[in-house]
Amino acid sequence: MAQIIDGKKIAQEIRNEVRGETTLLKEMSGITPGLAFILVGENPASQVYVNMKGKACEEMGFYSITERMPENTPEQALLNKIQEFNAASNIHGILVQLPLPKHINEAKVLELIRPSKDVDGFHPYNVGKLVVGEDTLKPCTPAGIQELLIRSGNDPKGKHVVVVGRSNIVGKPVANILLQKQAGANAVVTVAHTGAADLTRYTKTADVLIAAMGKAEVITGDMLKESVVVIDVGVNRVDDPSAKNGYKLVGDVHFESASKVAKAITPVPGGVGPMTIAMLMKNTLKAAKSSFR
Ligand code: GUN
């Protein structure tokens, strides 16, 4: 039976570390890390995520503020709000929750965030620094995946990592992180996606499989090599008449069949999910520390 990688536990370890360092930072410098959330519209999932992130800030001893703007907010009003937080000395991180309403140009919004406050790591300046291997604010879910691998005893060094998915939020950045000639990385990385003529051709060769295409249970055990380490980033709702709310959450990997061949596997929920918020806290602390150097 495969090792189940406990993301909740590892995320809590990181949160404890961040809380401890925050106490020290406050004592030494008087700085309280500050994180500003901007939520445009009423997307229910986004509201849940922003609430969870706000609660995590409280646990860390951070200052946080949530700016809720209506669905029909003009793009310029959002840009003005970002400028305000860019200039605020008590705010070290700015997070614009995605997705944004269709009438707003996402790239324009993300590019206005000061790179030193870009705790999501989505600004092209930070993306570029990541690609060339410089120290930077890294996107939270990909950085969380790297921490999960290291802290569960599955260092990717020298392994063949196959990423399935090419999003800007997960697939592309996690490939770039694990490719670096750095401790905790140094993998040979292949980026595959659902456009592949024969996906199994790639997944079969993975020592570490990272599933991040956002399609329910597409990766099955028969597509994997014996003793693979499986990181499942997917969170998909599927109908489940036996559940109280009528649905259940499943990953991009078919857990039951994959766990029979894998050496280690992340569950959904409780695997990658909790790591995203933990790494957001870590990034905010990092941004606050850099602000007084
Ligand atoms: N929407 C889904 N994931 C994320 C994330 O990591 N950051 C932001 N800002 N929005 C998201």
Q: Give me the number of domains the chain comprises.
A: 2
Residues of the chain where predicted confidence (pLDDT) is lower than 70: 293
Q: Is residue 83 part of a domain?
A: yes
Residues 111 and 169 in one domain: no
111 with 155, same domain?
no
Among 35, 97, 277, the mutation site with the greatest number of ligand 1 atoms within 8 A of its Cβ is 97
In a domain, 292, yes or no: no
Atom in ligand 1 nearest the alpha carbon of residue 46: 1
Assess if residue 22 is contained within a domain: no
> CATH no. for residue 77?
3.40.50.10860
- The verdict on 164 and 261 lying in the same domain is yes
pLDDT score for 293: 59
pLDDT tens readout for residues 50-71: 999 999 999 999 999 999 999 9
Task: Say how many Å lie between the first and final Cα of the chain, rounded.
Answer: 48
**One domain for residues 101 and 166:** no
**What residues make up the domain containing 169?**
140-273
pTM: 0.97
Q: What letter would DSSP give residue 71?
A: T
Beta carbon of 284 within 6 Å of any ligand 1 atom: no
What pLDDT, on the 0 to 100 scale, is given for residue 1?
Answer: 86
Give φ, ψ of 236 to 5 degrees.
Answer: -125, 135
Residue to probe by mutation, ligand 1, list 98, 112, 113, 275, most atoms within 8 Å of CB:
98
Q: Is residue 5 part of a domain?
A: no
What's the gap in Å between 98 CA and the centre of ligand 1? 5
The pLDDT value given to residue 292: 76
* CA 148, 233, 111, 93 torsion-angle sign: negative
Is the CB of 97 inside a 6 Å radius of any atom of ligand 1? yes
As annotated, the active-site residues are: 53, 97, 120
Whether residues 93 and 185 share a domain: the answer is no
Comparing C-alpha atoms, which of 80, 76, 126 is closest to residue 105? 76
Query: Three-state SS for 264?
Result: strand
Phi, psi angles (nearest 5°) of residue 211: -95, 115
Q: What is the pLDDT of residues 159-214, one digit of tens each?
A: 999 999 999 999 999 999 999 999 999 999 999 999 999 999 999 999 999 999 99
CA of 135 to the centre of ligand 1 (A): 21
